[in-house]
Amino acid sequence: GAGVSQSPSNKVTEKGKDVELRCDPISGHTALYWYRQSLGQGLEFLIYFQGNSAPDKSGLPSDRFSAERTGGSVSTLTIQRTQQEDSAVYLCASSLGGPLLAGQFFGPGTRLTVL
Amino acid sequence: QKEVEQNSGPLSVPEGAIASLNCTYSDRVSQSFFWYRQYSGKSPELIMSIYSNGDKEDGRFTAQLNKASQYVSLLIRDSQPSDSATYLCALNAGGTSYGKLTFGQGTILTVHP
């Protein structure tokens, strides 16, 4: 079946602009996660959704970052007033069931470049 | 001390050999453990999950967990050049952070013909 999909695959923006990144999880997966990966920082957790609610937002680096999920499916990560340090690959993952026992399956990522 | 530590490598093994990848972690209450493979320019791919002490085998892969020693490993038997990638160890510590996976920095594996 279809895996996790993300769009756009690449995004180049100017400092100070807002960006929206989209994630479509695997059909039937109730849990959805956002991570980012940058050189020297490894994979960094951002936020976890169970259904439409986000019980763990502990990884969001600042209040410029927000995310929502609607219909228990698609999620959007929004970064306001982008900064150069926001440049990274943003990865979405989903899992069937809760995060403790279910492996997370990653999408291809969105490469964000802030000029 | 980092939460999840891996030797960055590179680890180089000949084709057909056993590759052994190791990971230690600091949080004793960590509950679930995962190994991911990441090819250059691609996203992580789930290989194995392990939750209880002992060995778990899946094809050429064996994951080993020792919670007393806070150690998890991945063995790749009959290594192939196509196994050349970065291998990421990840764990879920449960508790208030039960939603997230914490990743190590990864070990680069090179399998040479």
Span A40-91, pLDDT tens digits:
778 999 999 999 999 889 899 999 999 999 998 999 999 999 999 999 999 9
> Rounded to whole angstroms, how far apart are CA atoms A78 and A62?
12
3-state secondary structure of A86: helix
- The position carrying tokens 């999880």 is A25
What average pLDDT does chain B have? 93
| B interface test, pick of A4, A6, A43 with most B CB neighbours within 10 Å | A43
Contact assignment for B105 to A42 by CB distance below 8 Å? yes
pLDDT at B1: 61
Q: What is the CA radius of gyration of chain B?
A: 14
B65 close to B52: Cβ distance less than 8 angstroms: yes
- Our CA-based measurement puts residue B48 at a distance from the nearest CA of chain A, in whole angstroms, of 8
Length of chain A: 115
pLDDT at B9: 84
User: 3-class secondary structure for B56-101?
Assistant: EEECCEEEEEECCCCEEEEEECCCCHHHCEEEEEEEECCHHHCCCC
pLDDT at B17: 97
Is pLDDT above 70 for B94?
A: yes
Q: How far is CA A8 from CA A21, A108, A110, B31, B94, in A?
A: 7, 10, 6, 34, 32
Is pLDDT above 90 for B100?
A: no
Provide CB contacts within 8 A for A14, sequence distance 6+: A82, A114, A115
**Region of residue B70 (left: phi > 0; alpha: psi -120 to 50; beta: else):** left
Contact assignment for A48 to B100 by CB distance below 8 Å? yes
The stretch B31-56 carries a mean pLDDT of: 95
Q: In which band, very low, low, confident or very high, does the pLDDT at B8 lie, cut at 50, 70 and 90?
A: confident
Closest residue on chain A to B91 (Cα): A100
Q: What angle do CA A39, A114, A8 make, to 5 degrees?
A: 90
| A interface test, pick of B100, B102, B107 with most A CB neighbours within 10 Å | B100
Contact assignment for B98 to A59 by CB distance below 8 Å? no
Give per-residue pLDDT as tens, A24-50.
999 999 999 999 999 877 899 999 999
Q: What angle do CA A59, A92, A88 make, to 5 degrees?
A: 70
Query: Which position has the higher pLDDT, A87 or B1?
Result: A87
The stretch B16-43 carries a mean pLDDT of: 93
pLDDT at A1: 60
Query: Which position has the higher pLDDT, B96 or A102?
Result: A102
3-state secondary structure of A85: helix
Is pLDDT above 80 for B98?
A: no
- Our CA-based measurement puts residue B93 at a distance from the nearest CA of chain A, in whole angstroms, of 8
- Our CA-based measurement puts residue A5 at a distance from the nearest CA of chain B, in whole angstroms, of 12
Q: In which band, very low, low, confident or very high, does the pLDDT at B36 lie, cut at 50, 70 and 90?
A: very high
pLDDT at A101: 76
